[in-house]
Structure 1
C-alpha cells in the first residue's frame, strides 16, 4: 500500500502550526505564572511580612512597627496591586489560550500589550533609588522567569501566526 509523502510545504506548515501551538501554550503558562505571583503577593499581605515578596522590613521596621494608618495604606496598595497582577494574568492566559491558538492576531497583540504595559510600568521603579532592602532573587526572580517564558512564547506564536 502506497503512502503519501509530505511535501516540503506541508512540513513547513506543520512546523508553523507547532510553533503557534507551543507559543500560545508558553504565553498562557506565563499568564498563569503572573496569576500565581499576584496570589502570593496577596497572601503575603495578610499572613506574611505584610510586604511584597522578598521584602521583610522597611528600613528595619516590620509592619507592626509602622503607624497603623501607614500599615493599612500599604496593605491597601498591595491588595490593589495583587488584583491588577492577577487580572492581567487572567487576560494574558485567556487571550493566549483561546485567541492566539485560533490564529487571532488581535488576541496575540492584546496579550503582548497587556503584559508589556504592566511590566514596563512596574519594573523600572526597582532600578531607581534603593529606598528599601529586598532580596532581588525572590522579589523579581519569579516575574522575570515568567517574562522569559512569555517572550519565548510570543516569538514562537508570532512565527506561527505568519502562516495564516
Structure 2
C-alpha cells in the first residue's frame, strides 16, 4: 500500500513532467517562430536590402546591381523559394509543437523534429564546404543556430514529458 508521502511525491513528479512537456513544446514553438522570422528577413533583404542573404553584402565585391540582370533575377528567385520553405517549415514546427506536442501527441513531436532536422541537415553543411563568397558568419548563421539551440532544448524537455505521460 502506497504511503501518503509516496503518492505526494508521485503527483509532484507528474506535475514536473507536465511542466517539462509544456515548457518544451513552448520552446519548440518559439524556435518555429524564429524560423519564420529568419525566412521573412530573407524576403525583406531580397526585395529592399542587398538582394543577398543575411550577412552577405556582395559577391566577390559585386552588388546585385553589378550582376547580369538574368543572374540577379535567378538569385532573387532562389532566395524567395528558400524563404518560402524556411517560413513554411517554421509554420509547421510552430503548429505541431504548440497544438500537437502540448496534446501529448508523439507523432506531432516526431514530425516537428523531422521537419526541422531535415531542413537544417540539408542546408547547413553547404556553409562549411568552401568559402566561395565572403559573408559574416555570425550574422549569416547566428540567428538560425540560436533558434536551433532553443529548439533542441525544447525537444529534449518535451520528450521527457511525453515519455513520462506514456508510462
**What band does the TM-score fall into relative to the shorter chain?**
over 0.9
Corresponding position of 2:71: 70
- What is the TM-score with the length of structure 1 in the denominator? 0.97
Note the C-alpha offset of 1:112: 0.1
Corresponding position of 2:92: 91
Corresponding position of 1:136: 137
Give, in whole Å, the separation in 2 of the partners of 1:71 and 1:140.
22
* 4+ residue segments displaced more than 4 Å: none
Matches within 5 A, 1:12-161: 12-161=13-162
Count matched residues: 161
Give, in whole Å, the separation in 1 of the partners of 2:37 and 2:116.
15
Deviations 1:34-69 (A, max 9, x none): 000000001000000000000000000000000000
Give, in whole Å, the separation in 2 of the partners of 1:116 and 1:25.
18
- What is the TM-score with the length of structure 2 in the denominator? 0.95
Note the C-alpha offset of 1:163: 1.6
Structure 2 gap ranges (5+)? none
Give, in whole Å, the separation in 2 of the partners of 1:88 and 1:129.
26
Structure 1 gap ranges (5+)? none
Say what the alpha-carbon RMSD is for the aligned residues: 1.0
